Structure 1
Amino acid sequence: MEKSWAALFALCFGFFMILVDSTIVQVAVPSLMTGLPATLNEVFWVNSVYLLTFAVPLLLAGRLGDRFGPRRLYLAGLVVFTAASLWCGLADGADGLIAARAVQGLGAAAMTPQSMAFISYLFPANRGAAMGVWGSVAGLATVTGPALGGLLTQSFGWEWIFFVNVPVGIVAITLVLMLVPDWQPRHSHRFDIPGIVLSSLGLFALVFGIQNGGLFDHTTVAAILATGVVLVVAFLWWQHRNPHEPLLPLRLFTSRAFSFGSLTGVLIGFAMAAMFIPLILYLQTTLGMTPLQAGLFMGPMSVVSAVLAPFAGRLSDRVDGKYIIISGLIAYAAGIGSVALIAQPGLNAWALVPGLLLCGVGIGTIFSPLSSTTIAGLEPRLIGAGAGIYNMARQVGNVLGSAAAGLLMQVASTDLVEAARITMLLPALVLLGAAFTAARMRGERVPAH
């Protein structure tokens, strides 16, 4: 058992790094515009291209891990991510940085499903406790990104947002080689080439159209989104008709826990991305905080989340996880909703702390039981595919939330504070919707391995 926990630590070390990079760029936008230099549109691409290349290949990455071994895929992704981070820091123009971030996303996509698949292998009897650690890392990393980004940008320059990944990545590679077993599920999957092509192109078109819809005219955006819908429908039709082994086993969705858990994951990803954009802009632009101050101001939320996640994971081994999830979602919605309602010019920033701490309580009690409950009951040979779908759902939610928040900030009001308040109410409402979908989950017994 000690070896299992050591292996999980090694996997979470690298997993933390790739999730931090989902939010670390947000507080560095002004520095990137002046330091590269880059236009606002180009800086937007620096963030969105990472989300795109992270989300789109996750289905394929899960199946590749089943076929060639999760440790090998995780290591390959870790090497690619670390090398791309060095490329990011050395980039001397926006185009080079955008290209490097795209490669970073591919590395992250290769790693993510493998960490969840390993938990099912290493902890067949007490998955909830292990998912508690994994959820703690996921929640902490997401809310740590802005704080770490502010610290590095203000102290050393924007390049160090990426350079810091190089030594961390080298340590992570060493830990995986030393501590993680070369588990081989040896599921001899057939590779569904039409499914891979249709799903990749369809998801790319949908995510691209939503994330970057404001950059093109309405006709072009509509055409891109329509193309994505057609390709996704064609993909689902092919998965139903595929006589061999589909990329997306539709029988996964006979599990209510998996179906509604994945949908809940989309809504949570949406809410987290939609929360950070208006909140960080409000703290920096209206309350006059520096990037470092804005990032550190959210530090207590990170600490609360990290402390509670392991306990939530262990508790989900004893009671139906959906009740823990629902409680966390309501707390999270109440926290960000209260911040939205009291935000105004000249506000004493300390008045925001209770709401942010409540957000931390919510985040800390959501990820662990949601991950555990969603994949509980899946057949061992489907866990890789299930982990890929679940993680892809959350990443697509991130893209949708980021795009929706950006659009709402522009159209809600000409007053920045009012626009931020309205936009922060959006994730609060979405989280209440997520509580409804979580209530539809049904706990299922974890299968023996």
Structure 2
Amino acid sequence: MSTSGQQQFRYTQTPSKVLHLRNLPWDCSDEELVELCKPFGKIVNTKCNVGANRNQAFVEFADLNQAINMVSYYASSSEPAQVRGKTVYIQYSNRNEIVNNKSPGDVPGNVLLVTIEGVEAGDVSIDVIHLVFSAFGFVQKIATFEKAAGFQALIQFSDVGTASAAREALDGRSIPKYLLPEHVNHCHLRISYSAHTDLNIKFQSHRSRDYTNPYLPVNPTAMEGVLQPVVGPDGKKKEPESNVLFASLENMQYAVTVDVLNTVFSAFGTVQKIAIFEKNGQTQALIQYPDVTIAAAAKDALEGHCIYDGGYCKLHLSYSRHTDLNVQAYSDKSRDYTVPESSLLAMQQASAVHATPPVWHNPQSGPVQSSAGYATTGTVPGQAPPAWNPNLQGGGSTFPSAPTGYPGHSYAPPAPAYATAVHPPGSSQQTNHISTGSRLLV
């Protein structure tokens, strides 16, 4: 609307002692409104930060003529009304008075309703929210959820005074950039008081937390770390840990079997379950340990290392969102080492009844790298994998039988002090030292 059009609009409006002001700073205060309007008369009421962008306000004068004087003055003045250097547009309101019905958001309480603008639900973790608000006092409980208004959180303090201090300091402010993901440019906090006085938190999870009850059960979905990033002591995001590792392998010159993975990963602790699968043409695997500590040690040591010399079958590791794999106890692509050996043996014998009796191959037909009393081997595509005789290992060492389809052979998982690089079939090279470079370093 042009300037002349705006003036004509002002003059054709029905005068009211309530004025409507637009284009204000989004955090304009009542004091700034009163300062702008008081030269024209007594201000009896104000209402700030209304509208979708919170940049509008209403001002009510004690007398109609005072409101008319203000509109007339700025309509004819060469200097527009301004607040903090921003031009403010003034017109009559279609209301005759400002009714300030105190909403629950205006009544002080110990629980704050926080709307975090400019972010998705997964961008700000509950740990970041706790870090920001605990600067003002002990945060008792937090619950996060999504509404039409955006990503919101209820934050419970022990008393009204602490909650009020946090609201006064943080309302309209932004969460520090270093606590946010890189793709989030800014996020504003809109804070009001909640009608709640005591939040009912049933589980500790990535969406709710009760800091007053450490014995509250943990919701299983809280372990789904991909939904919420975890914040370290420095306030930066870190990958949520899990007892299950997700492994992807590149440069697959040789096949990687369940036994190969078990030998490599059991160097750090007991491997409970393994599952191998193909996705988008890439070999991937899940390796389950009994606890997060062992998984973390294995991940740190094996990330980027190669199972075979020459840079073949390179491991890339991350934490999985799974905590307990559901796999077949014994198959070509999976293994459950928590199943008792007697059960495995029974399955092997049952399958052997209908199977052709196997033939032991000459162990010399496919040299196998032996070190620390155990060995693994990959399979060269197009060739049958060489089999070994547990009683014919070099150096007089014995090799516990890996799970096979042969009846009468039970499985005992190896427990090496360390794992070494594995040489592919056809290689006669022997190494008795911890390998570096392209060899696996544990």
Give the TM-score category using the shorter length.
under 0.3
Determine which structure has the larger helix proportion and give its number: 1
Bigger Rg over Cα: 2
The higher relative CO (CA closer than 8 Å, separation ≥ 6) is in 1
TM-score, scaled to structure 2: 0.19
In the superposition, the TM-score normalised over structure 1's length comes to: 0.19
